[in-house]
């Protein structure tokens, strides 16, 4: 894609420039794929949460911390299952689309795609997962309020699909699940690249545990906290 399509990557452009347009493309993609009648991989709780939990158990990480993360993962997953299921790109961040000079948007990197919860793509884009999960605790609070970006995306997305209250309420839960999911993805791909698991150590688990516990506290305090999460006592 990089070689054959001339244009700019999402991270090279201002969100204000592309937010509504990529929302439009995303809504169209979800609508078209919703009509696809061939089998598509189902991405369930095991994909988003279980792989990371199993990885911690395999490593013999702290049982008490694993129990906390299992409980938090259950709450987050319960929240996202209130949203409408359907086709999901799964990793629609600013590194996975190109804006061509003619105004066309080209989305790629579908290795995480499947039947899950389409609204995940909206929040993945609004929060640019790669910048969240650098685990910079000094800036973690910046990702609690996504109102401005979400407003831009919805202007395009809702030309094709309406986002309901449950979709919007799941925002912070999807971000939390992204931390579990990214760790599971790391385990899937890193051994292929590095040929070993030297990267898997206590610090790897600690930093993610601390990030998720901090995220949980921020969501409790946030005035924009989702109703479904409040109901489930996050």
pLDDT tens across 55-78, in order?
999 999 999 999 999 999 999 999
Say yes or no to pLDDT of 225 above 50.
Answer: no
For 40-69, b/e burial (b = at least 16 CB within 10 A) is eeebebebbbbbbbebbeeeebeeebbeeb
Cα distance between residue 34 and residue 160, in whole Å: 11
105: left (phi over 0), alpha (psi -120 to 50) or beta: beta
pLDDT for residue 9 is more than 90: no
Instruction: Give 14-54 pLDDT, tens digit per residue.
Output: 999 999 999 999 999 999 999 999 999 999 999 999 999 99
Rg, C-alpha atoms of the chain: 18
- The pLDDT assigned to 11 comes to 86
Domain boundaries, the chain: 8-231
Q: Enter the DSSP assignment of 138.
A: G
Q: Which residues contact 219 (CB under 8 A, 6 or more apart)?
A: 144, 172, 176, 225, 226, 229, 234
Confidence band of 2 (pLDDT split at 50, 70, 90): low
The percent of residues above 90 in pLDDT, for the chain, comes to 48
DSSP 139: G
| 86: three-class secondary structure by DSSP | strand
Q: 222 or 26: which carries more pLDDT confidence?
A: 26
The count of C-alpha atoms lying within 13 angstroms of the C-alpha of 77, restricted to the half-sphere facing its C-beta, is: 17
173, burial (CB in 10 Å: exposed 0-12, middle 13-18, buried 19+): buried
Q: What pLDDT is recorded for position 234?
A: 44
pLDDT at position 27: 96
CATH superfamily for domain 8-231: Aminoglycoside phosphotransferase (APH), C-terminal lobe (3.90.1200.10)
Q: What is the mean pLDDT of residues 114-121?
A: 94
- 131-173 pLDDT, tens digit each: 667 787 777 877 778 889 999 999 999 999 999 999 998 988 9
- pLDDT, position 201: 85
CA-to-CA distance for 119 and 227, rounded, in angstroms? 16
- For the chain, the average pLDDT equals 85
pLDDT over threshold 60, residue 195 = no
pTM: 0.85
Q: How far is CA 211 from CA 153, 173, 207, 233, in A?
A: 27, 14, 6, 18
Give the residue, 1 or 188, on which the prediction is more confident.
Answer: 188
């Amino acid at each position: 894609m990089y070689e054959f399509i001339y244009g700019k990557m999402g991270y090279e452009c201002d969100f204000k420039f592309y937010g509504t347009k990529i929302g439009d493309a995303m809504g169209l993609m979800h609508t078209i794929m919703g009509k696809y009648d061939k089998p598509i991989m189902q991405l369930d709780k095991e994909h988003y949460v279980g792989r990371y939990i199993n990885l911690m158990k395999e490593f013999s990480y702290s049982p008490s911390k694993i129990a906390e993360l299992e409980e938090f993962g259950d709450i987050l997953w319960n929240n996202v299952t209130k949203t409408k299921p359907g086709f999901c790109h799964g990793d629609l961040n600013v590194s996975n689309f190109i804006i061509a000079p003619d105004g066309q948007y080209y989305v790629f990197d579908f290795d995480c795609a499947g039947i899950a919860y389409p609204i995940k793509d909206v929040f993945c884009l609004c929060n640019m997962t790669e910048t969240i999960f650098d685990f910079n605790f000094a800036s973690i609070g910046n990702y609690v309020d996504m109102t401005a970006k979400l407003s831009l995306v919805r202007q395009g997305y809702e030309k094709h699909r309406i986002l309901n209250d449950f979709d919007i309420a799941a925002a912070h839960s999807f971000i939390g699940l992204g931390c579990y999911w990214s760790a599971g993805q790391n385990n899937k791909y890193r051994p292929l690249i590095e040929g070993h698991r030297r990267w898997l150590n206590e610090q790897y688990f600690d930093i993610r545990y601390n990030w998720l516990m901090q995220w949980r506290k921020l969501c409790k305090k946030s005035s924009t906290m989702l109703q479904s999460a409040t109901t489930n006592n996050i």
